[in-house]
Amino acid sequence: MTPDDLRTAVASIQWYHHIDLGHGIVTPGRSPNLRTLQRLGLPDRLDGLTVLDIGAWDGFFSFEAERRGARRVLATDWFCWGGPGWGTKQGFELARRTLRSRVEDREIDVDDLTPNTVGVFDLVLFLGVLYHVKDPMRALERVFTVTGRQLILETHVDLLHIRRPACAFYPGDELDRDPTNWFGPNVSALVAMLRAVGFPRVEVVSRYSLPERLARALMWRWQRRGKFFRTLNQGRVVVHAWR
């Protein structure tokens, strides 16, 4: 495929991730995935490890794990590849071909993840998915069963002004006008949930600072995406958990 052919193919797809495909071509995604990568605490090298990317969408984090030396990477999705989400699998497939990647793929829902269906992996990436599932505890139980060593989880959090474990429920499209957003645990709840499903060691490695949350709340109020004080008590967090 020539660079011009690649640009034409890229332009025909609705992208979520920014992915550098070479030849000066970067996919026009909506996601802040490059900024998220800086927050994840993903090791520089993953040599010899197996990696499972749950909710891979266009596959940015799957390809990044491969680039960092992972022996095997399995990208899974259902909601965006074949379910009711607005995304498709076209971006993933084009990026994989263009990058000459060996990342494997499996169309499967989170609730169907088991050692029998996908196997067990050294490192599991569960990024930007938890708040989209209707039963977050069940989802974490499934994730635990396929995690051999470590889980890296990134998610939306809410009720940050409450110290005890608590979780917000979003009826309709209350959160960011998106009806697929269901739950927002606070950090205490998230840590407790991970421990409850079986992870003995849980560490919060990154969270939005108060200035970041303030800037976000002001922006969302200006864009009419959320009320100021409610949004101020929301944010994003990265948690590492080990078996």
Alpha-carbon dihedral sign for residues 48, 241, 32, 207: negative
Strands 183-185 vs 167-169: parallel, antiparallel or unpaired = antiparallel
pTM of this structure: 0.96
Note down pLDDT in tens along the chain; length 243 residues.
Answer: 899 999 999 999 999 999 999 999 999 999 999 999 999 999 999 999 999 999 999 999 999 999 999 999 999 999 999 888 888 999 999 999 999 999 999 999 999 999 999 999 999 999 999 999 999 999 999 999 999 999 999 999 999 999 999 999 999 999 988 999 999 999 999 999 999 999 999 999 999 998 999 998 999 889 988 899 999 999 999 999 999
Longest pairwise C-alpha distance within the chain: 56
Q: How many CB atoms lie within 10 A of CB 150?
A: 18
Give 37: exposed, middle or buried? Use CB within 10 Å, 0-12, 13-18, 19+: middle
Residue 184 in contact with residue 175, Cβ under 8 Å? Answer: yes
Six token digits for residue 123: 């490192």
Query: What is the rounded distance in angstroms from the CA atom of residue 17 to the CA atom of residue 30?
Result: 6
Six token digits for residue 25: 């071509």
- Quote the pLDDT of residue 87: 86
Query: What is the rounded distance in angstroms from the CA atom of residue 185 to the CA atom of residue 234?
Result: 10
- Quote the pLDDT of residue 83: 83
Domains of the chain: 34-242 (3.40.50.150)
CA 109 vs. chain centroid, Å, equals 14
The full length of the chain comes to 243
Query: What is the rounded distance in angstroms from the CA atom of residue 140 to the CA atom of residue 47?
Result: 26
Q: How far is CA 75 from CA 2, 103, 150, 152, in A?
A: 26, 7, 17, 15
